[in-house]
Chain A
Amino acid sequence: MKDNQGVLGIFSYVDVTVETVKKLKRAGFQKLRVFSPVPNHEIEDVMDEPESIVRFFTLFGAMLGAACGVGFTVLTSSDWPISVSAKPIVSLPPFIVIIFELTILMGALSTLLGLLINSRLRRNAPSSMYDPRFSEDKFGVMVTCDKESINEVENILSSQGAEEIKFDEV
């Protein structure tokens, strides 16, 4: 038996959703999740989550890619030195193309990795608390609370005009 309870309210309007989140936060509920069919700045502002750390994945990947590009070209050229077209063995201008491409490649791959790790695609909300209409035109506010607070959450959600309220253990 789990201690926490999930309560989900379904709404049709962005402003109502935002207002509901504010009321819930004022009432002391901090474990909130909002579902929406599109990214929305008002929702993002009211949820006030910390800045995404995907950018560090991007930066690290890009730097690693650049380092790999330098290492790869310089080390393999030095490994078996063959003079081509009278150019120096380690000739940076042509290597810049390879370094640039590897920077982009590894930066993009690590951005994908950052997205997959951070958004926790499967785990960020239980499937029972998801409604297929969230990918269409409905907005959802999910509150995770203890069992004693269920009634209070339900009251807030229904006073805000939630069209449907769902409960589940989480």
Chain B
Amino acid sequence: MSEQSTLTYARVNEDVIRMLDKPTVKWLALFIPTLGFVGFGLFCFIHQVYTGLGVAGYRHPVFWGVYITDFVFWVGIAHSGTLISAILFLFRANFRMSIYRIAEGMTVFAVLTAGLFPIIHLGRPWNFYWLFPYPNQRELWVNFKSPLLWDVFAVSTYLTVSSLFFFVGLIPDIAAVRDRVTEAPRKFVYSVLSLGWKGSNWEWLHYTRAYLFFAAFATPLVLSVHSVVSWDFAMSNLPGWHTTIFAPYFVAGAIFSGLGMVITLTVPIRKIFHLEEYITLDNYDGMAKLIILTSLIVGYAYGVEFFLAWYSGSPYEWGQFYYRATGEYAIFYWIMVVCNVVIPIPLWFKAVRRNIKVLFIISIFINIGMWFERFNIIVISLSQGFDPAAWGIYMPSWVEIGITVGSFAWFFMFFLIFIKTLPAVSIAEMKEILPVPNKGIKGDHAG
């Protein structure tokens, strides 16, 4: 980490806690329009609840549309947060240190966003709690054999565990903020949140072990969650959905899209808060390499889907895939292929991986491509099933688009609040990769 040689322990505290100063005009200029879009999304949802699901573009035979696309998209975005915070932690990849807090925050807010969509998608959203297993008046239990119920367990476990992981990682940093702020109300809030952390060897002993176990739990969890989401589709007998490659295909896609979103979010933050010494080009280089890997897996999956459809000898399966690439939705299919497979190719070159502007542009294309991937899987498969008499075309209505835009605003709203209230770069973990302050005395501990 040669680029961080000028950093000291004290400077890390100063730089990171400075981000929590009073909101600037720039921040407000972002936050207020964001609130406006959240308001518009809320208006669309209220309109839908009041009028009925008919205002969404659902037409026979497509009854899973943009809302489910958004759900899968946001669950996917949530994935790389845990990848960066947990999996790279277990691998001791130091390039995660400066970005993992932002990625973890992103995970929590993305799951919060994703969790809304199954409810928005319900005809009677006020009955959403029927999904939870509780002893109801008819003594009926939920159907544990249904992938939709697995989803309830997987996503709610993921939200709980990733929130815990996020909060536990924050405890020493919140204590650092507590020790620095002077205004009484802020001091009180940070004191409560820091749980009385003092940084004693006793606390670190248990803390580091607990953190390791959280990482060890989060790693299989993150792989399971998107696998379960993929089984929402793969468990049903529909051409385009019923395939065994869905779990790894979805997990790779989720990590791919999540990394894209991490880059999209960190590039402006790095610039606005002058974090160039923290989020270095090496960090981006590492993320870009992971993007190459996951882009290759995703591209391979696109190819294998076609091969298996042809090799299966099933006319329905092959018809579905032929339709994807050449039918009414072909434009969306090719947007997906170009954004996810072709546009990341320049990342093979080091100069591109270390060019922040190009990386930022590529990351936005990845976000777009991955949204369309989910749209294609869900909508195109449904629109041409087994029976040609039951084929149909679906296009989202303005209400669905409004709620989708509102969901992006909802996500960014949490994110903007987060960077002004909690340390967005991990103070304690940044210090771990700085040189240890030693006086160089010759004690008997030397060597």
A136 contact set on B, CB distance < 8 A: 9-10, 13, 176, 179-180
| B145 and A104 contact, CB distance less than 8 A | no
Bound: A56/B163 CA distance, A: 22
B438 contact set on A, CB distance < 8 A: 13-15
| Binary contact track A141-158/B, C-beta < 8 Å → 1, others 0 | 010000000000000000
Q: How far is the CB of B86 from chain A (nearest CB, A)?
A: 11
| A37 and B199 contact, CB distance less than 8 A | yes
Bound: A84/B149 CA distance, A: 14
| B201 and A36 contact, CB distance less than 8 A | yes
Among B165, B204, B440, B446, max chain A CB count under 10 A is at: B204
Are A44 and B176 also in contact (CB < 8 A) when A38-B428, A79-B139, A104-B157 are?
Answer: no
Are A76 and B141 also in contact (CB < 8 A) when A38-B431, A94-B150, A136-B179 are?
Answer: yes
Which of B176, B178, B195, B443 lies in contact with A121, CB distance below 8 A? B195
Which of B179, B180, B205, B210 lies in contact with A49, CB distance below 8 A? B205
Bound: A11/B130 CA distance, A: 58
Interface residues of B in 149-175 (CB under 8 A from A): 149-150, 153-154, 157, 160-161, 164-165, 168, 172, 175
Q: In this complex, what residue of A is CB-closest to B141?
A: A76
Interface residues of B in 389-447 (CB under 8 A from A): 427-428, 431-432, 436-441, 443-446
| Binary contact track B187-206/A, C-beta < 8 Å → 1, others 0 | 00000000111111111111
Bound: A126/B143 CA distance, A: 52
Which of A37, A73, A108, A137 lies in contact with B144, CB distance below 8 A? A73
A12 contact set on B, CB distance < 8 A: 437, 439
| A116 and B195 contact, CB distance less than 8 A | yes
Which of A22, A46, A111, A121 lies in contact with B196, CB distance below 8 A? A121
| B150 and A124 contact, CB distance less than 8 A | no
Which of A54, A98, A104, A116 lies in contact with B217, CB distance below 8 A? A104
B208 within 8 A of A: yes
Number of interface residues of B (CB under 8 A): 67
Q: Is the interface of B mostly helix, strand, loop or mixed?
A: helix
| A76 and B133 contact, CB distance less than 8 A | yes
A66 within 8 A of B: no
Which of B8, B144, B200, B207 lies in contact with A125, CB distance below 8 A? B200
Interface residues of A in 117-142 (CB under 8 A from B): 118-122, 124-125, 130, 132-137, 142
B94 within 8 A of A: no
Q: How far is the CB of A88 from chain B (nearest CB, A)?
A: 10
B204 contact set on A, CB distance < 8 A: 36, 39-40, 44
A10 within 8 A of B: no
Q: How far is the CB of A24 from chain B (nearest CB, A)?
A: 13
B221 within 8 A of A: yes
Bound: A80/B135 CA distance, A: 12
Bound: A116/B167 CA distance, A: 13
A9 within 8 A of B: no
Q: Is the interface of A mostly helix, strand, loop or mixed?
A: helix
Interface residues of A in 97-113 (CB under 8 A from B): 97-98, 100-102, 104-105, 107-109, 111-112
A116 contact set on B, CB distance < 8 A: 195
A22 contact set on B, CB distance < 8 A: 443-445
Bound: A98/B294 CA distance, A: 28
| Binary contact track B205-219/A, C-beta < 8 Å → 1, others 0 | 111111001100110
A84 contact set on B, CB distance < 8 A: 143, 145-146
Bound: A136/B144 CA distance, A: 50
| A97 and B201 contact, CB distance less than 8 A | no
| B209 and A15 contact, CB distance less than 8 A | no
B10 contact set on A, CB distance < 8 A: 136-137
B315 within 8 A of A: no
| A105 and B168 contact, CB distance less than 8 A | no
| Binary contact track A52-89/B, C-beta < 8 Å → 1, others 0 | 10110010000000000000110011011000110100
| B439 and A120 contact, CB distance less than 8 A | no
| B445 and A125 contact, CB distance less than 8 A | no
A132 contact set on B, CB distance < 8 A: 179-180
| B9 and A104 contact, CB distance less than 8 A | no
User: Would you give 19 A-B contacts (Cβ < 8 Å), ordered by A?
Assistant: A12-B439, A13-B441, A14-B438, A35-B199, A37-B428, A38-B428, A76-B133, A77-B141, A97-B228, A101-B154, A107-B217, A108-B164, A108-B218, A112-B210, A114-B206, A121-B203, A124-B200, A135-B197, A136-B10
Other than the given A46-B445, A115-B206, A136-B176, 16 more pairs (CB < 8 A) read A14-B436, A15-B445, A36-B204, A42-B436, A49-B201, A94-B146, A97-B150, A97-B154, A98-B153, A101-B150, A101-B224, A104-B224, A108-B165, A119-B202, A137-B8, A137-B13
The 9 closest A-B pairs by CB, nearest first: A132-B179, A137-B9, A122-B196, A76-B141, A135-B176, A115-B210, A13-B439, A19-B443, A52-B209
